[in-house]
Structure formats: structure tokens, C-alpha cells
Structure 1
Amino acid sequence: MARDCALIISSISSLPKRSIKRLYLVRSEVLMGELGGYQSLLSKIREKRAKIVILGQGYIGLPLALLLCRAGYHVTGFDIKESLIKDLKEGKVKFSEVGLEELLKECLASGRYSPEDSVERALSNRDIYIIAVQTPVKINGRPNLGYLLSALELVLSHVRRYAPSLLVIESTVPPKTMEEVVMPILEERGFYLGDDIFLAYCPERAMPGRLLQELSGGNRIIGVIDELSGKLTEALYSSFTKGNIRITHFRTAELVKLVENSYRDVNIAFANAVALACEALDVDVDEVRALANLHPRVNILKPGIGVGGSCLTKDPYFLLNSVSSHGINLDLIRVARKLNEMLPKHAAELIVNALKAVGKRPEESLVAVLGITYKGNVRDCRNSPALELIYELKERGFSVRVYDPLVNEAPRGVYLCRSLEEAVKGADCIVIGAEHSQLLKINLDEIRVLCRDSPVFFDGKHAFDRKVVEEAGFEYLSVGCPANVIEILKEIAEHHIHEP
């Protein structure tokens, strides 16, 4: 803790005078050791007597609430969506997470977890407020903090003065949001950091499909501007996570989250750029990747039809926006994001050209898309590149059917089939949009029988072996392996290297 606090002090020394002035709002009596309110709240946290409310019961807020409940706290899960709260009270979870529904039922039975859509019942007389609402990106790439600010207003209207509370923000925010947005609001409302409210930023770093595992076992970063807020938040989070907890300054924590996801987005874009180069040079990207990855310091990811989810599609824009006024050229990150965004359109063009090559026009062709979530084995369709591909295909005149064993409600503009057979019957092209385990086990021979003549198999995830697909009677197609190089590749197939 001493080292972490030293890091905070070092960070503070480089802050603008305005930020340092705000830091001095921490009352002198607290710094001098009159820690009655802090000690009382710390005791409540350690003894599991602290009453917690989490605003937002979605992909992060719900599992976080349940983990805190399992740790022994009384937790209220607040959300403005009445239908969501109704489902939670009945023990139902709409998104797929291993063990989440079971944990929900366990927590409901314990009586320590209460889903609530009433503001007064949820937020009154609480010790800890955690905000886990969405912070989407606007069309112009700027952050939309509207949901966060609305949640913050609700909290501040219910915080009890002279009864210290801990406010933790989990929602992803751009750098300086805590200093230049959240803290000024606290000041304007007459709250004192370190007295009325202890404040921390703790960005979630968990992936759908592994939420419980990563929230309870992953490392956490806590951003603060005073030592006591860090200690309180560390005591709370250490109650349910086995990972390491590092305490740093607000701005560092904000930046770390954006850097992590921008790094991943750039690496995916590099793999997709390699695939485009392979298309131009009539080379198989799977072979190039397999051979390049034999190098001990190279690890090229699989290319595909783009990037989806709620974080990788927006966090690079948050980072770019945060430095836009500083004259720094971050075109690497910007171009990577744009490249990943254009992949669905590029994939649609590959499909159009492949079908035209066998005499099929878009308006006379049927495409069956198998899997529409943004990644395999989850139900999350947010910003899914498979959905963008569907919209691109429909704009070009294709009829499109969809089958996804994990999706029950059809997204906008999508016809969702009840069975695999219904989706592929009479299809001219099969598209693999998500690598669900069930889809990877499909019988290609049986599917081929249901398709029309000369069907194309577009492997949007590079999840299938090309030889196996071709042996079943399909023409294999993917980003990085277009139809116009298939014959060339067949001639050198005996030299191909395939991943085990």
C-alpha cells in the first residue's frame, strides 16, 4: 500500500494546479488523523455489515452484485428496466454465462440479494454505491456519458451527509473524467472527498463468457486521488476477488482500460491487414500465419470479419478523443479501428464475387448465416460484425436466413430460423458468423445435401479446415483466402501447413 500511495503522490505532483486544488478539498482533520467516519465505514466493509447498491444489472453489474452477495454482503441490484428486474426476481438471466443463473438463485434464496427498480427502495440508506452502467460512443466517436451522469445524480440525491459513503465507478470512462467531470459535480453539490464521500474508479476487465471467473479471479486496478478511498475500495474488492489489486491515480486507471482494449483492437487489425495482403498476392493467410507464428516472438491472431462487443469497438475512440486536443498523432489506433469496421463490407464483396463466378446473382441467391453473436459461445450480439455482414448482404439484394443456437430474440432486420436445417435448405452460401461449439460440430455432408448447386462456404472465423469443407462439396472462402486463389492453393495443397 505504501508503494501504491507513493505512486499516487508522484502522479499528483505532475497534475495541473486546478486538479491539485481539488485534492486539497480533502478536509485537514482527515489528513491529521481524525478518521472516525472512515474507520466506521472500513469496519462495516470488513465485517460485511455495509449495505451495497449497484446501479445497472447488466453484463457487469449483475455478476458483480452476486459475487458481493456470495461474499456475505447485503446487495441491492438496481436497474430502471422493469422487465429485467422482474426476470431477476424470478431467477432468470437473459445472457449466457456459466454458473450465473445458478448463483442468482443461490443469492435470492439467501435473502441478501434484492433486485429493485424503485429508486427510493434501492438507494436509500446505503453505505456503498457502485455505478456499472453503459457508456456508449456517439456517432462522431465522442463518449456518451449520459447514463453515467444520470446514475451519479441518483446517487448524490440519496447520499447521507455526515454518514460517509463509498462511491465506486466501474463504467469505462475517458481519462480525466473523474477529475474534470465527477469531482466538480461533487464539489458543486457541496460534498467533500474523503469526508462525505470516498471516491474510486475501478474499471471492469472481464470478458463475456467468463465474467464470474474473471471478476473473481482477475487482477483489479483501483484509481483514487486520496489514500483512504483506496483502502476502503481495496477492502471491498478483496472480499470477492483472488487477483492482485493495484492502487493508482484516477487518470492512470482510466487510461489503462483504454490501452488494454486498443492494444487488442490493433492486434486484430494487423491480422486482418495480413489477410488482405494475402488476398492481393494470391497467398493463403492460414499458411502465412502458421509459418510466421513458428517464430518465437511472433503471435499473429486469426483474421475474421471484424470486431464486436461493447468495449473493443468504443474504447479506442475514447482514447483517441482524450488526446485530440493535444496534437498527438495516433493514426495507428484510428486506422486499426477503421480497418476492423470495414471488414463486414469487405466480406460481403467476397461473397458477391464468389457467387457471381458460378453464375449466381445476389437477388437470386440465399445466404444462410450460422451464428450472429460477436464471439463464440455467448449470447451477446452487441456490435456483432456478423450482424453488420447480414445488413451488407441484404443491401446487395441477397435473401438471408439466420440460425444461432444461443440467440432466442431476433435482432433488428434478422429472420431467425428455428433449426439449422431450416436455415440452410436451398442456400447458395453458408456463412460462419460465430464459432459456437455446436456449430463447429455440424455435419458438412448433411448440410451440403440441403444446399443448391455450387454452394460457397464462407468461414468468417477461420474455424474450419479448408480441405474438409471442400471434400464435402463446398467452395471454401474466407478473408485472406478468396475464391480466385482456390485453384492455385489446390495445386500446392500437399505443402500446406495446418494448425493441429
Structure 2
Amino acid sequence: MPREFQKIIVMGLGYIGLPTASMLATKGHTVVGVDVNENAVNTINSGRIHIIEPDLDILVRSAVNSGNLRASLVPEQGDTFIIAVPTPFKPEGDNPKAPDLSYVEAATRAIVPFLQEGNLIILESTSPVGTTEFIERIVVEMRPELGGKVYAAHCPERVLPGHILRELVDNDRIIGGTSKAAVAKAKELYKTFCSGAILETDSRTAELSKLVENSFRDVNIAFANELSLICDRLGINVWETIALANRHPRVNILQPGPGVGGHCIAVDPWFIVSSAPETARLIRTAREVNDHKPHWVIERVKAKAERFKRPVIVCMGLTFKANIDDMRESPSLEIAQDLLAADIGIVKACDPNVEPGKSPVPLVDIRTALQEADILVLLVDHAEFIEIDRELIKDKVVIDTRGIWR
């Protein structure tokens, strides 16, 4: 094997792990992707994918057919170990939004028996400050002889679902190590597929930088969402208000919606709040504004439902953003499920990107939705919804949280 090529073990084959593993494999590295989901492992080994992302199927098929990518339920020895597992919430004391590092810890403990001197561990999972150092402590706890002989770095993913493959290559990349040697080793690997700038720092700064990126977005979305509440109270069109304000050369207000979803923007700010609860006041308030928005939408639907005996309510969209199948932390899904539980009518959902077996709410196609619905709740601006003829919804009660049918 040429010196520049490595054997890489990728822990977690989800929206980040699988594209990263496939990209590395197509660049000549030998990659073993590890996941606890046996169906995902079998699917990938057959050259297919278990998630929806444009062109990912082509990349995975190419990587598997080349012999450079295979999936497994268990790790093995390698040169570099990439951890790309979820970092969700868990209740802890008075904090219902404490970071849950159990997946990171489990992945780390799984690879430690296979580590050798000189190996590199890369944490790609978005994590609270200090997580990379936490990984190092686990390694030394389990294998004291490896203390100071294994390298650790944090290289947070910075990609947008729906554009992951392009952004994996084009976006600038932050690499933060617990040592300069770790940064150098990680940089050498990422240069094999990343054309963006490689930005070097320490692991704690890298961890906070990723959290700050998404918190910045969250705060700006919260401003737009709060404007929508104010405009509703005052009887003013929020979309027109924002459009007019944005004509100022130094104003760029984002668009409001039903809330904020996805594993990044809806989660990362809480990691900062947990790390510095007394000082992260603006970040906490923005999270509370965005977390409240789904409940505001639900109350609007309930108010409209009162005029019917038992209305058919169709939620248009379940994913957290347009034109993808990802429902992680989705406010649209939360709204649909809460309306279903409230039993104020017959609640269904319509989402062309979600498979029926993956939806906790009964799914209907667009034609059925438009025929049967008394109340249409537009939650996600999927391309298929934008194209709907407005004549077909003129007799419906419409609650449009995205402003595409106004």
C-alpha cells in the first residue's frame, strides 16, 4: 500500500460518516465503516444506501465496487479512527438539554482494543468543549501504555444536508488537535480530499467554533421567528415586512418557519449553554424562542379547527428542511405528532421524501392531501409543495409557516 494511503475505520455510518467513508475510499484509502445497525451494514455492502442524499448512492456504489469500502458491525485495526456518531440530549439534574456523550464514549471504548502506537483518532461529531480530551482520557484509562502515543483531533463536519458531497470537498475545514502533531496528522489526511482551506487550532477552540457557527444561525433565525409572532399579533404580513427591511444595504433578516430542526442548529447552542449557563443568556433565549415556535403553530391550528366538527388536518412536510428525508429534531414532525395526540381531528401528513414505514403519522400523497384536507398546515417548503397550483387550495384553511403560498 502506498505510504500516503491509510486504513481508516469510520465509526458511525449516518449522514456524516457514510459520505466521509465513501469519499475517503474513492480517494484510494482502505475504509471500514462500522455501525450498530445491521440493516445499514448489509445495505452498504450491497452498494446501496439507507439514507437520502443527492448522488451519495453513486459514490457509495463506486467505493464498494472498488473494494476500498466495506461495512462491518465491529471495528478492527487501522491507521486512523474517525468517530461520527450522534451527540443528542439527555436530562441531567435541572438541565433537560444536557449533552449525551454516551455514543461517543461507546465508540471510543469499542476502538481502544484495536489501537496501536501512532494511530490517530478524529472526532467529527459535533460535541461540547472538552470532548476530544475526554476521548484521550478513555484511551489512557483502558490502555495506559498508549498514553502520549496516540493522537487525537477534532475536525467538525460543516456540511449542509442536500449538498453534503460538494461541501465535504469545497468547504474550509477546521482541525483542532490536543497536540500539534495530531493537527499535522489530521491535516495530511484531509488534504487528500478537501480542496477548501485547512484551518489549524487546538481541540477546544475547534469544538467551540463549530458550536458558535450553529448558534449564530440559531440566534438569527430566532429573530425572524420572533418577528413572525409580533407581526401576527399586530395583524401585519411578516413576509412583506422582512422583504422591505432587507432592502436596507446592511440588513439581511432570515425567513421565519415552524421552528428549528436538524441535529446541528437545534442542538449545538444547548451545548454552549450547558458549558457556560450563567453567561450564555442570548444563546439560551434564542433557543427558547425557536423551541416555542412549534407550540405557537399548534395553537393556531387548534383555533382554526374549532370551526369544524372533526376536520381533516394535513401537515405538509415532516423533515427539518426542504428536499431531504432527515427528520432529526424536526419541528414539523413535532407539530404533526402533537396534533395527532391532541385528537382535534383526523391528522395526516404529506411528505414526498419520507418513506411510509419511517413516519409516525399516517402519510398521504399530494393529490390525496389536497382532496381530503380541511386544513393544510404548510411546514416544509419542499419543491413539490412550491409547485402546487394555488387554485387547488383556495377553498382550504391554510396555515403557511414558510410563506410559499402567500
On whether the aligned pair clears a TM of 0.5, the verdict is yes
- Greater Cα shift, 222-231 or 392-401: 392-401
Q: Do structure 1's residue 360 and structure 2's residue 308 form an aligned pair?
A: yes
Partner residue of 1:145 out of 97, 101, 105: 101
Question: What is the distance in 2 between the residues matched to 1:424 and 1:88?
Answer: 37
3-state SS in 1 of match to 2:98: coil
Amino acid at match of 1:400: V
Quote the Cα distance in structure 1 between the aligned partners of 2:80 and 2:360. 42
Match of 1:67 in 2: 23
Query: Does the alignment pair 1:337 with 2:287?
Result: yes
Q: Give the CA deviation at 1:412.
A: 5.5
Q: Is contact 1:344–1:392 with CA below 8 Å preserved after alignment?
A: no
> Is 1:218 the counterpart of 2:165 in the alignment?
no
Aligned with 1:77: secondary structure? Answer: strand
2:51 is matched by which residue type in structure 1?
A: F
Where do residues 102-117 of structure 1 align in structure 2 (5 Å cutoff)?
102-117=58-73
Q: Is the partner of 1:458 in helix, strand or coil?
A: strand
How does 1:77-116 map onto structure 2 within 5 Å?
77-116=33-72
- Listed one character per residue, the Cα deviations across residues 163-203 of structure 1 (whole Å, up to 9, x for unaligned) are 42111111111112223x223223322144553x1111111
Deviations 1:257-311 (A, max 9, x none): 1111111111111001111111122211112101111111111111111011111
Aligned match of 2:201 in 233, 244, 248? 248
What is the aligned partner in structure 2 of residue 439 from structure 1? 385
- 2:348 is the counterpart of 1:398: no
- Within a 5 Å distance, the mapping from 1:67-466 to structure 2 comes to 67-117=23-73, 119=74, 122-123=75-76, 125-139=77-91, 140-160=96-116, 163-179=117-133, 181-188=134-141, 189-192=143-146, 194-195=148-149, 197-324=150-277, 328-356=278-306, 359-361=307-309, 364-394=310-340, 395-411=342-358, 413-417=360-364, 419-447=365-393, 454-464=395-405, 466=406
Distance in 1 of aligned mates of 2:206 and 2:145: 23
Return closer, same or farther for 1:341/1:200 CA change in 2, 3 Å cut-off. Answer: same
Q: CA RMSD of the aligned region, Å? A: 1.7
- Distance in structure 2 (CA, Å) of the matches to 1:428 and 1:289: 29
Task: Give me the TM-score of the superposition, normalised by structure 2.
Answer: 0.94
Q: Give the distance between the partners of 2:89 and 2:121, measured in 1 at CA.
A: 24
Q: Please name the residue that 1:20 is paired with.
A: none
Question: What do the CA deviations read for 1:57-91 (whole angstroms, capped 9, x no partner)?
Answer: 10000000011111111111111111001111122
Alpha-carbon distance in structure 2 between the residues aligned to 1:367 and 1:208: 28
Greater CA drift, 97-106 or 427-436:
427-436
SS of match in other structure, 1:76? strand
In the superposition, the TM-score normalised over structure 1's length comes to: 0.77
Identity percentage over the alignment? Answer: 37
Q: Deviations over 1:145-175 (max 9, x none)?
A: 1111011011111113xx4211111111111
- Partner Cα distance (1:410, 1:345) in 2: 26
List structure 1 segments (4+ residues) > 6 angstroms apart after TM superposition. Answer: none
Name the aligned partner's letter for residue 366 of structure 2: L
- Runs (5+) with no aligned partner, structure 1: 1-43, 449-453, 467-500
Q: What secondary structure does 2:210 align onto?
A: helix
1:55–1:129: 8 Å Cα contact kept in structure 2?
Answer: yes
Please state how far the C-alpha of 1:254 moved relative to its aligned partner: 0.7
Distance 2:319 2:198 in 1: 32
